[in-house]
Protein backbone atom coordinates (compact mmCIF):
# COMPACT_ATOMS: atom_id res chain seq x y z
CA UNK A 1 0.00 0.00 0.00
CA UNK A 2 1.33 3.43 -0.94
CA UNK A 3 1.77 5.77 2.01
CA UNK A 4 -0.16 9.03 1.70
CA UNK A 5 1.98 11.59 3.59
CA UNK A 6 -0.96 13.90 4.24
CA UNK A 7 -2.79 11.12 6.10
CA UNK A 8 -1.67 11.43 9.74
CA UNK A 9 -3.13 8.05 10.70
CA UNK A 10 -1.26 6.08 8.06
CA UNK A 11 1.92 8.03 8.71
CA UNK A 12 1.69 7.45 12.46
CA UNK A 13 1.17 3.72 11.87
CA UNK A 14 4.19 3.58 9.59
CA UNK A 15 6.35 5.36 12.16
CA UNK A 16 5.18 3.10 14.99
CA UNK A 17 6.18 0.06 12.91
CA UNK A 18 9.78 1.29 13.02
CA UNK A 19 11.18 -0.28 16.22
CA UNK A 20 13.22 2.80 17.08
CA UNK A 21 14.01 2.17 20.73
CA UNK A 22 16.72 4.64 21.79
CA UNK A 23 19.23 4.98 20.13
CA UNK A 24 18.19 2.84 17.14
CA UNK A 25 16.85 4.78 14.15
CA UNK A 26 15.17 1.62 12.79
CA UNK A 27 14.01 3.35 9.62
CA UNK A 28 11.89 6.09 11.25
CA UNK A 29 14.08 8.99 10.13
CA UNK A 30 14.50 7.47 6.68
CA UNK A 31 10.71 7.27 6.41
CA UNK A 32 10.38 10.96 7.27
CA UNK A 33 13.15 11.92 4.87
CA UNK A 34 11.44 10.00 2.06
CA UNK A 35 8.20 11.86 2.81
CA UNK A 36 9.68 15.36 3.16
CA UNK A 37 12.17 15.44 0.27
CA UNK A 38 9.54 15.02 -2.47
CA UNK A 39 7.71 18.00 -0.94
CA UNK A 40 10.77 20.19 -1.47
CA UNK A 41 12.49 19.92 1.92
CA UNK A 42 16.29 19.80 1.97
CA UNK A 43 17.20 17.01 4.36
CA UNK A 44 20.38 16.47 6.36
CA UNK A 45 21.09 13.30 8.30
CA UNK A 46 23.26 14.32 11.23
CA UNK A 47 25.05 11.52 13.05
CA UNK A 48 26.75 12.63 16.25
CA UNK A 49 28.94 10.67 18.61
CA UNK A 50 30.87 11.13 21.81
CA UNK A 51 33.17 8.73 23.68
CA UNK A 52 31.22 6.45 25.98
CA UNK A 53 27.87 7.17 24.32
CA UNK A 54 26.11 5.53 21.36
CA UNK A 55 26.09 7.21 17.97
CA UNK A 56 22.78 8.94 17.29
CA UNK A 57 21.15 9.57 13.92
CA UNK A 58 19.16 12.81 13.63
CA UNK A 59 17.23 14.56 10.84
CA UNK A 60 17.10 18.24 9.94
CA UNK A 61 14.75 19.13 7.09
CA UNK A 62 14.08 22.67 5.88
CA UNK A 63 11.88 24.22 3.21
CA UNK A 64 12.69 27.82 2.26
CA UNK A 65 15.57 30.07 3.22
CA UNK A 66 13.94 33.28 4.42
CA UNK A 67 12.35 34.48 7.60
CA UNK A 68 10.31 34.00 9.65
CA UNK A 69 11.68 30.52 10.27
CA UNK A 70 9.24 28.24 12.12
CA UNK A 71 10.55 24.88 13.31
CA UNK A 72 8.87 21.74 14.63
CA UNK A 73 11.00 19.69 17.02
CA UNK A 74 10.41 16.10 18.00
CA UNK A 75 11.92 12.67 18.48
CA UNK A 76 11.35 9.34 16.80
CA UNK A 77 13.12 7.33 19.48
CA UNK A 78 10.92 5.57 22.01
CA UNK A 79 11.33 3.89 25.38
CA UNK A 80 11.42 0.05 25.58
CA UNK A 81 8.08 -1.76 25.47
CA UNK A 82 8.39 -3.09 29.01
CA UNK A 83 6.27 -6.18 29.66
CA UNK A 84 5.73 -7.37 26.10
CA UNK A 85 3.25 -10.02 27.22
CA UNK A 86 1.10 -7.36 28.85
CA UNK A 87 0.30 -5.59 25.58
CA UNK A 88 -3.15 -6.10 24.13
CA UNK A 89 -1.68 -5.70 20.64
CA UNK A 90 1.90 -6.06 19.43
CA UNK A 91 3.69 -2.87 20.50
CA UNK A 92 5.12 -2.14 17.05
CA UNK A 93 2.18 -3.22 14.91
CA UNK A 94 0.43 0.14 14.76
CA UNK A 95 -2.99 -1.49 15.02
CA UNK A 96 -6.25 0.42 15.34
CA UNK A 97 -8.95 -1.04 17.57
CA UNK A 98 -12.23 0.64 18.46
CA UNK A 99 -10.98 3.99 17.21
CA UNK A 100 -7.69 3.83 19.14
CA UNK A 101 -4.22 3.60 17.59
CA UNK A 102 -1.97 1.40 19.72
CA UNK A 103 1.80 1.20 19.78
CA UNK A 104 4.96 2.35 21.45
CA UNK A 105 5.38 5.98 20.47
CA UNK A 106 1.75 6.50 19.44
CA UNK A 107 1.57 9.40 21.91
CA UNK A 108 5.22 10.09 22.71
CA UNK A 109 5.65 11.22 20.06
CA UNK A 110 5.30 9.59 16.65
CA UNK A 111 1.63 10.51 16.47
CA UNK A 112 2.50 14.18 17.01
CA UNK A 113 5.21 14.07 14.33
CA UNK A 114 2.80 12.46 11.88
CA UNK A 115 0.19 15.14 12.60
CA UNK A 116 2.61 18.01 12.00
CA UNK A 117 4.08 16.47 8.84
CA UNK A 118 0.57 15.91 7.46
CA UNK A 119 -0.48 19.45 8.38
CA UNK A 120 2.66 20.97 6.86
CA UNK A 121 2.33 19.05 3.60
CA UNK A 122 -1.35 19.98 3.26
CA UNK A 123 -0.42 23.63 3.73
CA UNK A 124 2.42 23.42 1.19
CA UNK A 125 0.25 21.62 -1.36
CA UNK A 126 -2.49 24.22 -0.94
CA UNK A 127 -0.16 27.14 -1.64
CA UNK A 128 2.18 25.34 -4.03
CA UNK A 129 5.01 25.99 -1.56
CA UNK A 130 5.54 28.41 1.31
CA UNK A 131 4.14 31.89 0.71
CA UNK A 132 7.07 33.25 2.71
CA UNK A 133 9.68 32.28 5.27
CA UNK A 134 10.94 28.82 6.14
CA UNK A 135 9.56 25.71 7.77
CA UNK A 136 11.80 23.06 9.27
CA UNK A 137 11.84 19.83 11.24
CA UNK A 138 14.36 19.09 13.99
CA UNK A 139 13.92 15.38 14.65
CA UNK A 140 16.26 13.57 17.02
CA UNK A 141 16.80 9.94 17.94
CA UNK A 142 18.15 10.68 21.41
CA UNK A 143 15.42 12.38 23.47
CA UNK A 144 14.47 9.32 25.51
CA UNK A 145 18.13 8.50 26.12
CA UNK A 146 21.04 10.54 27.46
CA UNK A 147 20.18 13.50 25.18
CA UNK A 148 23.85 14.08 24.41
CA UNK A 149 24.11 13.38 20.68
CA UNK A 150 20.74 14.75 19.66
CA UNK A 151 19.06 18.15 19.77
CA UNK A 152 21.84 20.00 21.59
CA UNK A 153 24.37 19.10 18.91
CA UNK A 154 21.90 19.75 16.12
CA UNK A 155 21.49 23.29 17.44
CA UNK A 156 25.28 23.73 17.48
CA UNK A 157 25.31 22.55 13.86
CA UNK A 158 22.66 25.14 12.94
CA UNK A 159 24.60 27.88 14.68
CA UNK A 160 27.76 26.98 12.78
CA UNK A 161 25.77 27.38 9.54
CA UNK A 162 24.34 30.74 10.67
CA UNK A 163 20.81 29.35 10.47
CA UNK A 164 18.40 31.29 12.68
CA UNK A 165 15.18 29.81 14.04
CA UNK A 166 12.55 32.40 14.98
CA UNK A 167 10.09 30.13 16.81
CA UNK A 168 9.74 26.45 17.64
CA UNK A 169 6.90 24.13 18.55
CA UNK A 170 7.88 20.89 20.30
CA UNK A 171 5.37 18.10 19.80
CA UNK A 172 5.52 16.68 23.31
CA UNK A 173 2.19 15.29 24.56
CA UNK A 174 1.10 18.20 26.73
CA UNK A 175 -2.56 17.56 27.49
CA UNK A 176 -3.53 15.71 30.68
CA UNK A 177 -7.14 14.87 29.85
CA UNK A 178 -8.37 16.25 26.53
CA UNK A 179 -6.85 17.82 23.45
CA UNK A 180 -6.72 21.55 24.07
CA UNK A 181 -6.24 21.41 27.85
CA UNK A 182 -2.76 22.90 28.03
CA UNK A 183 0.08 24.55 26.17
CA UNK A 184 3.39 24.25 27.96
CA UNK A 185 5.29 27.52 27.89
CA UNK A 186 8.17 26.52 30.15
CA UNK A 187 9.71 23.87 32.35
CA UNK A 188 11.24 23.78 35.77
CA UNK A 189 14.97 23.20 35.91
CA UNK A 190 16.25 19.72 36.72
CA UNK A 191 19.41 19.14 38.72
CA UNK A 192 20.91 15.85 39.91
CA UNK A 193 23.22 15.61 42.89
CA UNK A 194 25.24 12.77 44.38
CA UNK A 195 26.13 12.94 48.06
CA UNK A 196 28.80 10.53 49.34
CA UNK A 197 29.46 10.39 53.09
CA UNK A 198 32.74 8.75 54.03
CA UNK A 199 33.25 6.66 57.16
CA UNK A 200 35.47 3.82 58.31
CA UNK A 201 34.60 0.21 57.67
CA UNK A 202 34.53 -2.14 60.64
CA UNK A 203 32.77 -4.91 62.51
CA UNK A 204 29.32 -3.96 63.78
CA UNK A 205 30.21 -5.40 67.21
CA UNK A 206 33.02 -2.86 67.55
CA UNK A 207 31.54 0.48 66.49
CA UNK A 208 34.04 2.36 68.63
CA UNK A 209 36.83 1.52 66.16
CA UNK A 210 34.72 2.21 63.07
CA UNK A 211 32.83 5.22 61.76
CA UNK A 212 29.37 4.48 60.40
CA UNK A 213 28.50 6.86 57.54
CA UNK A 214 24.88 5.72 57.19
CA UNK A 215 23.32 7.67 60.10
CA UNK A 216 25.24 10.79 59.03
CA UNK A 217 24.00 10.43 55.46
CA UNK A 218 20.44 9.91 56.72
CA UNK A 219 20.56 13.10 58.77
CA UNK A 220 22.08 15.10 55.92
CA UNK A 221 19.48 14.02 53.37
CA UNK A 222 16.69 14.59 55.89
CA UNK A 223 17.93 18.17 56.28
CA UNK A 224 17.97 18.62 52.50
CA UNK A 225 14.70 16.87 51.74
CA UNK A 226 12.56 18.54 54.42
CA UNK A 227 13.64 22.12 53.71
CA UNK A 228 11.13 24.35 51.97
CA UNK A 229 12.82 25.74 48.89
CA UNK A 230 10.16 28.31 47.97
CA UNK A 231 6.41 28.81 47.72
CA UNK A 232 6.13 28.77 43.96
CA UNK A 233 5.96 31.69 41.54
CA UNK A 234 3.50 33.19 39.10
CA UNK A 235 4.53 30.73 36.39
CA UNK A 236 5.71 27.71 38.38
CA UNK A 237 4.78 25.37 41.19
CA UNK A 238 7.07 25.17 44.26
CA UNK A 239 10.54 23.72 43.81
CA UNK A 240 11.22 20.35 45.39
CA UNK A 241 14.12 18.06 46.24
CA UNK A 242 13.63 14.31 46.14
CA UNK A 243 15.95 11.56 47.36
CA UNK A 244 15.89 8.95 44.60
CA UNK A 245 18.64 6.45 45.53
CA UNK A 246 20.35 5.40 48.78
CA UNK A 247 23.07 2.77 48.59
CA UNK A 248 26.03 1.34 50.51
CA UNK A 249 28.78 -1.00 49.25
CA UNK A 250 27.81 -3.74 51.67
CA UNK A 251 25.62 -6.85 51.83
CA UNK A 252 26.79 -8.24 55.16
CA UNK A 253 24.67 -7.44 58.19
CA UNK A 254 27.64 -7.43 60.58
CA UNK A 255 29.82 -4.95 58.69
CA UNK A 256 29.77 -1.17 59.05
CA UNK A 257 30.27 0.19 55.54
CA UNK A 258 33.07 2.53 54.54
CA UNK A 259 30.81 4.97 52.76
CA UNK A 260 27.19 5.61 51.88
CA UNK A 261 25.68 7.28 48.83
CA UNK A 262 22.50 9.22 48.17
CA UNK A 263 21.32 10.50 44.80
CA UNK A 264 19.03 13.51 44.68
CA UNK A 265 16.91 15.19 42.03
CA UNK A 266 15.89 18.84 42.38
CA UNK A 267 13.14 20.39 40.24
CA UNK A 268 13.40 24.14 40.62
CA UNK A 269 11.38 27.14 39.45
CA UNK A 270 12.40 30.63 38.36
CA UNK A 271 13.15 31.67 41.92
CA UNK A 272 16.44 29.91 41.20
CA UNK A 273 19.05 29.45 38.51
CA UNK A 274 21.40 26.51 38.15
CA UNK A 275 24.22 28.29 40.07
CA UNK A 276 21.99 29.52 42.89
CA UNK A 277 20.28 26.16 43.49
CA UNK A 278 23.67 24.43 43.54
CA UNK A 279 24.88 26.98 46.09
CA UNK A 280 21.83 26.32 48.28
CA UNK A 281 22.43 22.56 48.23
CA UNK A 282 26.14 22.99 48.96
CA UNK A 283 25.53 25.35 51.88
CA UNK A 284 22.76 23.23 53.39
CA UNK A 285 24.89 20.07 53.14
CA UNK A 286 27.90 21.85 54.61
CA UNK A 287 25.96 23.09 57.64
CA UNK A 288 24.55 19.62 58.34
CA UNK A 289 27.95 17.97 57.86
CA UNK A 290 29.61 20.41 60.29
CA UNK A 291 27.08 19.51 62.99
CA UNK A 292 27.67 15.78 62.41
CA UNK A 293 31.43 15.92 61.86
CA UNK A 294 30.81 14.18 58.53
CA UNK A 295 33.29 13.92 55.70
CA UNK A 296 31.55 14.02 52.35
CA UNK A 297 31.72 14.71 48.62
CA UNK A 298 28.97 16.42 46.66
CA UNK A 299 28.77 16.47 42.86
CA UNK A 300 26.16 17.80 40.43
CA UNK A 301 24.92 16.90 36.97
CA UNK A 302 21.97 17.93 34.84
CA UNK A 303 21.17 19.52 31.52
CA UNK A 304 17.98 21.51 32.00
CA UNK A 305 17.80 25.01 33.45
CA UNK A 306 14.46 26.64 34.21
CA UNK A 307 12.82 28.66 31.45
CA UNK A 308 9.54 30.28 30.50
CA UNK A 309 8.38 31.63 27.15
CA UNK A 310 6.48 34.83 27.78
CA UNK A 311 3.17 35.30 25.93
CA UNK A 312 3.74 36.80 22.50
CA UNK A 313 3.23 35.95 18.84
CA UNK A 314 4.15 32.26 19.17
CA UNK A 315 1.99 31.60 22.23
CA UNK A 316 -1.00 33.58 21.00
CA UNK A 317 -0.94 32.01 17.53
CA UNK A 318 -0.95 28.50 18.96
CA UNK A 319 -3.56 29.37 21.57
CA UNK A 320 -5.87 30.78 18.90
CA UNK A 321 -5.38 27.68 16.73
CA UNK A 322 -6.27 25.37 19.61
CA UNK A 323 -9.38 27.37 20.46
CA UNK A 324 -10.56 27.60 16.86
CA UNK A 325 -10.40 23.81 16.39
CA UNK A 326 -11.41 22.47 19.82
CA UNK A 327 -13.39 25.33 21.32
CA UNK A 328 -11.20 25.13 24.43
CA UNK A 329 -9.00 27.91 25.76
CA UNK A 330 -5.81 26.08 26.75
CA UNK A 331 -4.12 26.86 30.04
CA UNK A 332 -0.52 28.05 29.82
CA UNK A 333 1.45 25.71 32.08
CA UNK A 334 4.99 24.75 33.05
CA UNK A 335 4.46 21.30 34.57
CA UNK A 336 5.94 17.96 33.69
CA UNK A 337 9.48 16.73 33.45
CA UNK A 338 12.12 17.78 30.97
CA UNK A 339 12.10 17.84 27.18
CA UNK A 340 14.34 19.02 24.38
CA UNK A 341 12.70 22.43 24.76
CA UNK A 342 15.35 22.97 27.44
CA UNK A 343 17.95 23.21 24.67
CA UNK A 344 15.82 25.06 22.12
CA UNK A 345 14.91 27.88 24.52
CA UNK A 346 18.50 29.13 24.13
CA UNK A 347 17.96 30.00 20.45
CA UNK A 348 14.32 31.08 20.13
CA UNK A 349 10.91 31.18 21.83
CA UNK A 350 9.58 27.63 22.26
CA UNK A 351 6.28 26.04 23.30
CA UNK A 352 5.05 22.47 23.61
CA UNK A 353 1.76 21.07 22.42
CA UNK A 354 0.77 17.55 21.46
CA UNK A 355 -1.55 14.68 22.28
CA UNK A 356 -3.15 13.55 25.55
CA UNK A 357 -0.36 12.12 27.70
CA UNK A 358 -2.25 9.69 29.92
CA UNK A 359 -0.65 6.53 28.41
CA UNK A 360 2.90 7.66 27.63
CA UNK A 361 5.58 5.06 28.44
CA UNK A 362 2.88 2.59 29.51
CA UNK A 363 1.92 -0.86 28.29
CA UNK A 364 -0.77 -0.39 25.60
CA UNK A 365 0.25 3.20 24.85
CA UNK A 366 -2.43 4.58 22.57
CA UNK A 367 -4.13 7.66 21.15
CA UNK A 368 -7.51 8.09 19.57
CA UNK A 369 -7.74 8.40 15.81
CA UNK A 370 -10.07 11.34 16.32
CA UNK A 371 -7.43 13.17 18.39
CA UNK A 372 -4.80 12.61 15.71
CA UNK A 373 -7.08 14.21 13.14
CA UNK A 374 -7.89 17.11 15.45
CA UNK A 375 -4.22 17.65 16.24
CA UNK A 376 -3.46 17.76 12.52
CA UNK A 377 -6.14 20.43 12.12
CA UNK A 378 -4.69 22.43 15.03
CA UNK A 379 -1.19 22.24 13.63
CA UNK A 380 -2.49 23.21 10.19
CA UNK A 381 -4.28 26.26 11.57
CA UNK A 382 -1.19 27.16 13.58
CA UNK A 383 1.12 26.98 10.55
CA UNK A 384 -1.25 29.02 8.40
CA UNK A 385 -1.77 31.72 11.02
CA UNK A 386 1.93 31.92 11.87
CA UNK A 387 2.94 32.64 8.29
CA UNK A 388 0.10 35.07 7.57
CA UNK A 389 0.36 37.13 10.78
CA UNK A 390 3.05 39.48 12.02
Indicate which CATH number applies to the domain containing 217: 3.30.70.360
Supply the range of the domain harboring residue 349. Answer: 8-187+306-388
Indicate if 297 belongs to the active site.
no
Please check the confidence at residue 215 and state whether its pLDDT lies above 90.
yes
Whether the CB-CB separation of 142 and 23 falls below 8 Å is answered with yes
For 154, 210, 274, 309, 337, the CA distances from 306, given in Å and listed in that order, are 21, 43, 8, 11, 11
63 and 205 belong to one structural domain: no
Q: What is the per-residue pLDDT for 260?
A: 98
Dist. CA 152–CA 92, nearest whole Å = 28
* Helix 369-388 and helix 111-127, axial crossing angle in degrees, nearest 10: 50
CA gap 135, 129 in Å, rounded? 10
- pTM of the predicted model over 0.95: no
Residues 92 and 31 placed together within one structural domain of the fold = yes
The rounded mean pLDDT for the chain is: 96
Residues 47, 88 within the same domain = yes
pLDDT tier at 4, thresholds 50, 70, 90? confident
| pLDDT for 304 | 83
Active-site residue among 25, 57, 77, 371?
A: 77
Paired residues of 135 in beta bridges: 63, 70
On whether both 23 and 132 belong to a single domain, the answer is: yes
Q: Is residue 70 part of a domain?
A: yes
Q: What is the pLDDT of residues 142-183, one digit of tens each?
A: 999 889 999 999 999 999 999 999 999 999 999 999 999 999
Same domain, 32 and 155: yes
| Cα separation values, 166 from 24, 127, 313, 386, Å | 30, 22, 11, 11
Do 216 and 318 belong to one domain? no
Q: What CATH number did the domain enclosing 15 receive?
A: 3.40.630.10
The last residue of a domain, from among 304, 319, 346: 304
| C-beta pairs of 83-87 under 8 Å, 24+ apart in sequence | 83/363, 86/363, 86/364, 87/363, 87/364
Instruction: Return the pLDDT at 337.
Output: 79
Check whether residue 24 and residue 104 sit in a common domain.
yes
Residue whose C-alpha is closest to residue 116's, from 79, 71, 78, 154: 71
Whether 136 is in a domain gets the answer: yes
Q: Where are the alpha helices (DSSP H) in the chain?
A: 8-16, 28-36, 111-127, 151-160, 213-226, 274-292, 313-326, 341-344, 369-388
Please tell me whether residues 209 and 180 are part of one structural domain: no
Percent of the chain with pLDDT over 90: 93
Contact between residue 137 and residue 36 where contact means Cβ atoms under 8 Å apart: yes
* 88 φ, ψ (degrees, to nearest 5): -70, -35
Exactly one of 25, 57, 108, 143 is catalytic; which is it?
143
- 194 catalytic per annotation: no
Specify the number of domains making up the chain: 2
pLDDT digits (tens, 9 = 90+) for 343-387: 999 999 999 999 999 999 999 999 999 999 999 999 999 999 999
Tell me the pLDDT tens digit for each residue of 21-72. Answer: 999 999 999 999 999 999 999 999 999 999 988 999 999 999 999 999 999 9
The reply to whether 31 and 167 lie within a common domain is yes
Amino acid sequence: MTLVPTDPIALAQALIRCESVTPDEAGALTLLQNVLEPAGFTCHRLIFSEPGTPDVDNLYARLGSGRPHLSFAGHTDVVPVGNDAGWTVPPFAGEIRDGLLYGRGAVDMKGCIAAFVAAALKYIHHYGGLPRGSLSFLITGDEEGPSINGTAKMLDWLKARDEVVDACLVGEPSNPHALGDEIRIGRRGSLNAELVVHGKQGHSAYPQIADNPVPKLARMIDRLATAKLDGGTANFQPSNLQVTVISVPNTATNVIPGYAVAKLNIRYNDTWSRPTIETWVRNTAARAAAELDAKYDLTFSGTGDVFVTQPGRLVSTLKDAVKSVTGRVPALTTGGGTSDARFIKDICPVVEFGLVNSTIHQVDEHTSVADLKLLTDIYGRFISNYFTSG
